Structures are given as C-alpha cells and as structure tokens.
Structure 1
Amino acid sequence: MIAHIQAPQRADELAQFLARMNNDLQMHIGFCGENPDEIYDQLTNDFSDLPWQTSFVVAYEDDRIVAAIGLDVDLERGYADVWGPFTETKDMTLSKKIWEELTSGLDKVKKYSFFVNEENAFAQRFAEEVGGAYKGMDYVLLLHKEDDIRAEADEVAAFNTAFAEDFTSVHTDAFPDTYYNAETILSRLNETNQLHMLVRDDALAGYVYAEANPEHGEGTIEYIAVSPDSRKQGIGKQLLAKGCQALFSHEGVSETSICVGTDNKAAISLYQAVGFKVKYKLKSYLVTV
C-alpha cells in the first residue's frame, strides 16, 4: 500500500492518532500528551506559531493516518519542539520523507528539539539519523491531589509587580535560554497561570510559576528558582508547595507535573521531598541547522 504524504485534513483525526501512538511507551514523546481531547485543544488553541495544518505532515493509507511528525515552532527563538516521529509500523524511510517535507522551507527554524521516552528506541535512532546530538536525560515527575504535600508555604505570596525587576533578574539568571522569558511570563498571568514569590529582607528570594489546565485535569510547575544568596534555607520547598497548592485549588485539577534534568540531584531531591514521583524518563536530542 502506497502512503500519501500531505498536510493533515482534520485536527480531531490527528489528535486521535497522536494520543493512540503516545500511549505506547515505545512510541512515546515527552510533552505531546496522551488524551485526545487535550491534544485537540492544544493543536487548535495554543500549539505553534504556525497553523496546526502546516505544523504537521502526515502519511495516509486508505484515508487513515498511519504516520505523523509535528513541530511546535517558536519563530522568535528559531526553535521547534518535535512531536514524533509517530508511525504504526516504525517505518524509518517513511518517517524521513515526512521530516524532509515538514522541515523544507523553514528557514527561520535553526534548532529542533526531541524529548523521547527512554523506551522509544525508534525515535532515538531517528533523531540521531537526522543529525540530532544527544543532550542528556530528563525526568517528568507527578504529584496527585490526593498525595500529601510534605511542606508548608507560609512565607509565599502572590506576585507583586514592585518586584518585577528582581523577578526578571532571578529568572534570566536561572533560565538564560528558555521558552518563556520573564516578560512572557508576566504577560501570561491570569486566573490559571499564576506567579508566586517569597520575599526576605525586602528582596526577592525566589519564585514559582505554574499553569493550570482545569479542563483537562492537570497543571504544570513551569519554573521555580531561588536567588543564589537565598539557597539552602528551605525556600525552594515552600515555593514548590505553594505552586502545587495553587494548582490544586482549581476545580478539576487532579495532578501536577514538573520536568528536571536527571543530573540535577538537588532539584530532584527537593521535588521528591515534597511528594513528586518519577513518571517518565526522557532522552533529549538537538538538531542544529
């Protein structure tokens, strides 16, 4: 059967295919999601700087999607997170044809980032064969609402704009090359995207930024950082506890996740001390063009 490579026709059909593939650990890609409704919502509302129809290339057989690769593109940074490769038959030749079709003409994208489950040997080999360099491994950790949050957050308060300059400094120091800079975080603040801070001696000691998705029952600790002068004082634990409490205060949110490099032993110890447990191990690859 000849596979026809083209843009996807329907977002709901694409979401169903991606969810089915991503629930298989041997096809699993980090941050893609496993629920078709959640994936559909992300595709059609908050996915890429490009329309979802041009952010993916798929292969059809008998009017059915059998393979797909997508790009969550940030044009300003020249960066894209890769969703895939997803293929029912682990067809490397087909996946490479889709990749070539998808990336041709994307002159503004200079870096392609893969986050691949450690059990997904196919995607690891694909990333290497398209020029990806291995960058390390990350843990995705989960905390459920019914779990005990093993920390207090008495000193943590909602963000005060008087500390915007301090926040920018701490965030830029901690995350110099990241998907949300300080200005972007401040512009995203609303009822579900919340920033909390801990102040000591009139100085910002640390912050936590979390995004809730009540419709899909989950939340994410996107960023947490403590200023260098305030470390080893229990501040990170308070901030993390507050971030989780804020997420679980939204009706419907039953779990929260956080991602961290496996070499960051201090952060892993902190997250586990609060109650987080490892769900996935993801290998990171970066293609630079």
Structure 2
Amino acid sequence: MTTYVRLAASQLEMAAEWLANINSQTTSHSGYCGTSKEEILESLHEDFVEGELTSLVAELEGETIVGLIGFDYEEDFAEVWGPFILSSNPKETLALWNFATNEFPQLQTFSFFIHKDNRTQQEFMDTLQATLRGKHLYYRLHQLTKTASHKLTFEIYSNQDVQEFVELHDTEFPDTYYDAKTILERSLQQGHTLYFAYFEKSFVGYSYFEEGTDSIHLEYFALNSGYRGQGLGEELLRVTLDQVTSAGKLASVTLTVDLLNNAANPLYEKVGFQVENELWHYRL
C-alpha cells in the first residue's frame, strides 16, 4: 500500500541511508544532496528538523521508502532535494510533489540542481514548467598550492565593513539563493565562515564557506572589479582555502559555478579544483 508521509526526526537515519544510495547514481542525482550517509545525516539534522517532524516528505510502500522530497527552506524560498523516486511513472512523481507542497503551503519559490544525466527529473521540471536558469560545474579540490605573494590581509567577519560586502555581493550575485543578509546571519553559526579581504586597508572581496561532516563547500567568492587583473583573486582564493583546511580534518572542498563563467573557472582549476559533475539549475 502506497502512503505519503512527512518523516519524523527519528526516521532521519533511514532517510540518509536511502538518499546516499540513490544520489550516488548520476541518473538520479540531485546537487544539494551528498552521497555520504554521514554527511547527509548531518545536513538533515541541521537544516530539515522541525521539532519532532522534518521538512522531508516520503512515499512509502509499507514501511519502505520509494520516493522522497526534502525542502531546505527559509520563509517562502526552498532549496529542493529531489524529487527522488524509484518509479519512472511521472504521475507518481507528481503525486509525491503535490503532497509535499501541500504540507508546506507557505513555500512559493523552489530551486533545483539536477545532474545532466538525470533525465527523469529534467522531464519532471518540464511537467512543472520550471525554468532552466543555468548549467553549472560541481568542482572538488584535489590539491592546493599556497600562494607565495601576500598583498592582501584577511579577517573573519565580525560586524565590520558590512555595507561594502552587501554592495559587492548584490552586484556579483543579484539573483542567488543566499542574499547578503542571509550570508551574514549564517556566518555566525558554527561551521560557517565568512572572510573579508583587504588591500591597503580597503575592503576588496570576500569568500564564504559552509562546513559539512567531511567536506567544506565554497558557497561564494568575489573580488571588487576595480582590483582584478593583479592576481588578488587567486591570492584571496588560495589563502582562504588554506585557512579553512588548515585543521587537516576535512577530506575535500567543493564548489558550484556557472558552466560558462570563463573568468572564474580557469582560476578554480589553476588552484587545484577538478570538475566532478555538471548540474542544471531550475527555478519554479
């Protein structure tokens, strides 16, 4: 018998194991969700628990998960995990989606990152009439060489130069999943680090990282346009990467960037990142 339920917090380990298995396959891969059970479980505890319930909705056959959607949301905007479903029947995916969205009627905008090989979810995006907003590369850092020059100084954000940061972030990322206010709030949480970069005491750029169980994700990185072409962007990236990995406890650093970002992508590859996946971004 098929049922649709909002999962309880006590069911997260079961959900994490199921997600790790299905997300390890490129044909069912969703970009927000990891492939390690431990990493997924930590993310679920951090971003999906609401008291005794979660923001995960599952399709069950008996007590076995056969489909799942997760909403990592703030106010009316959600980053979507999935929809993951074992069936290839689009009507079943739509039924799961409708049940999930009815459970969270306040959500109005949804963001999806779907692997280029995941035809099932791409076809479902067409069913929902979601808009393809861009194609992105998912990079993983394999080797980092420290920079020899030190033209910049760095500080962890602590309430200084906020307006300069807001202006730079809003200019470089005008339509993104975290606005400047959200980054400032999240950077105060453990495992979230926002670095400000200075050239001759002037704020010139920043990088923002979020830490998982065995990896760190570079969420944003930007340098003021007036300071480009001097090697400062490379120094900003290398130094802050060295800072966040200096404890030696993390297996890797990852990032997601526009496939056609011809300015940033060569820099990421120069400092040691390699392409792992191609993800397509949809917005509904």
Q: Compute the TM-score of the two structures, normalised by the length of structure 1.
A: 0.88
* 1:99 aligned residue: 97
What's the CA shift for 1:236? 1.1
1:226: which partner in 2?
A: 223
Name the counterpart of 2:199.
Answer: 200
Instruction: State how 1:157-236 maps to structure 2 within 5 Å.
Output: 157-159=154-156, 161-187=159-185, 188-189=187-188, 192-213=191-212, 216-236=213-233
Query: Does the 8 Å CA contact 2:71/2:79 hold for their aligned counterparts?
Result: yes
Indicate the SS of the match to 2:69. Answer: strand
Moved more, 179-188 or 29-38: 179-188
Q: Matched residues in 2 for 1:211 and 1:166: separation?
A: 21
Cα pair distance change 1:21/1:105, threshold 3 Å: closer
Query: Paired residue for 1:285?
Result: 282
Q: Which amino acid aligns with 1:272?
A: E
Aligned to 2:22: 21
User: Separation in 1 of the partners of 2:87 and 2:57?
Assistant: 17
Do the aligned partners of residues 58 and 52 (structure 1) sit closer, same or farther apart at CA in structure 2, a change above 3 Å counting?
A: farther
- Preserved CA contact (<8 Å) 1:139 1:278: yes
Task: Measure, in 2, the Cα distance between the counterparts of 1:220 and 1:238.
Answer: 18
CA 34–52 in structure 1, closer or farther in 2 if over 3 Å, else same: farther
Of 238, 244, 247 in structure 1, the residue corresponding to residue 244 of structure 2 is 247
Partner Cα distance (2:218, 2:149) in 1? 15
Q: How does 1:49-68 map to 2 (within 5 A)?
A: 53-68=53-68
Letter paired with 2:161: F
Which range is displaced more, 154-163 or 217-226?
Answer: 154-163
Q: 2:271 aligns with which of 256, 270, 274?
A: 274
Query: Structure 2: how far apart are the matches of 1:168 and 1:52?
Result: 36
Gaps of 5+ in 1: none
2:123 pairs with 1:122:
no
Determine the C-alpha separation between the residues in 1 that align with 2:46 and 2:270: 35
SS of the aligned residue for 2:170 comes to helix
1:177-215: CA deviation from partner (whole Å, max 9, x where unpaired): 3333334333323664322233224321211122233xx
1:34-49 aligned within 5 A = 34-47=35-48
- Farther-moved stretch of structure 1 (156-165 vs 85-94): 156-165
- Residue 125 of structure 2 aligns to which amino acid in structure 1? A
Q: CA deviation at 1:242?
A: 1.6
Partner of 1:70: 70
Measured in 2, the distance between the counterparts of 1:138 and 1:279 equals 11
2:48/2:54 contact within 8 Å kept: no
Match of 1:148 in 2: 144
Deviation at 1:153, TM superposition (A): 6.0
1:111-167 CA-to-partner distances (Å, cap 9, x unmatched) read 1111100011001001111121111201110103xx132644622322464423322
> Contact 1:209 / 1:243 at 8 angstroms: preserved in 2?
no
Asked if the contact 2:7/2:55 (under 8 Å) is kept, the reply is no
* Superposition TM-score, scaled by structure 2 size: 0.90
**Partner residue of 2:106?**
108
- How far 1:253 sits from its partner (Å)? 0.6
Instruction: State whether residues 32 and 80 of structure 2, in contact with CA within 8 Å, keep that contact through their aligned partners in structure 1.
Output: no
Separation in structure 2 between the aligned mates of residue 96 and residue 190 of structure 1, nearest angstrom: 36
Return the letter of the residue paired with 1:62.
G
Query: What is the rounded CA distance, in whole Å, between the counterparts of 1:51 and 1:179 in structure 2?
Result: 25
Structure 1 residue 52 displacement after superposition: 8.3
CA-to-aligned-CA distance 1:200-236 (integer Å, 9 cap, x gap): 24321211122233xx221111111111211222111
What percent of counterpart residues are identical? 28
